[in-house]
Amino acid sequence: MHLVQKLINFAGKSPQEKLQAVRAQFNIMDYRVVRTKNDRTAYVIGLFGTGRWYVNELILQNIGTRAKYFRDGIRFHSGPTSMIYSGHATIRHVSRGQYPPRTTGRLLKAAESGFADVIFIYRHPVDSLLTNWVWWRTYIGSKRMISGISEIYRTTDALCADLEQNFPDFLAFAEGNPAFFAGLSDRQRFLSFPEFVEETLLHTGNATLALKLEDFMIDPVTEFSKITDVMSVDLDRSGLRVAPPRSKPYGYLAVQEKLPIFKRFIDDLNSETRRGIERIGYDA
């Protein structure tokens, strides 16, 4: 197959499919734990729906041979390694689909001890809230894993229409109500929106490096270079070509403008949650 056609086909895959393809290319199913040079274990952490898959792809495609030590999952080591782990994880609250606080605490202690680095990826929490509601709703309804809202809704109007029609369902999700997951075999809850904001604030205060997904949309090369600097990866930046995320920044604003009931939800957020959003660098 011609190289251009291969690239086109690769670009059309979901993040999960891309990750599997790159893992196969680098033959990184070997689970040996190694350390070369002066590497430290790297942990790429994000809460659900914040852009971790995008950063995973950048790492796998651009850091050379160290990519073979990438694992989608989290494992703790008592000393430095060349391994790169990636996963969703929380610091204070137990949540469906995310590693629990006891695991995250061990990673943070490793970073404090100087033999690991924690790289945290985050985005505006309201954008994550919409993405997560659509993701879990799709998964519960059809067991389908999607890479973004655009896979389900072609336009903002379509999203707004569905959101307005199913707003009680959205509120249940935002409140962390276990009943939202009644369609699954267990009703383990997901983070409420205030808890999600709190977790983001905790991560940004504890990570070795905290990066906004929105900044990758402006200058992906500079933001990715911050990751390779932390990981001490020798990188020729002159020829680096890093694509920005496909997600649109601050998409929630368009929904807020078109849907009054959603705007009221934002306006009615409690003061602590609003302060949390502002402290991580966003308008509430």
Over the stretch 49-81, which tens digit does the pLDDT of each residue have?
Answer: 999 999 999 999 999 889 999 999 999 999 999
Cα–Cα dist 45/48, whole Å: 10
Average pLDDT over residues 202-225: 97
Q: What is the pTM of this model?
A: 0.88
Cα–Cα dist 262/23, whole Å: 40
Cα–Cα dist 277/282, whole Å: 6
CB 194, CB 272: distance < 8 Å: yes
Q: Would you state the pLDDT for residue 239?
A: 72
Q: Would you state the pLDDT for residue 5?
A: 38
Is the confidence at residue 2, as pLDDT, over 60? no
Q: Would you state the pLDDT for residue 31?
A: 55
Give me the sheet containing 41-46, strands edge to edge.
Answer: 70-72, 84-88, 41-46, 116-122, 209-212
Q: Would you state the pLDDT for residue 185?
A: 86
Find the range with the poorest average confidence among 30-34, 173-177, 216-220. 30-34
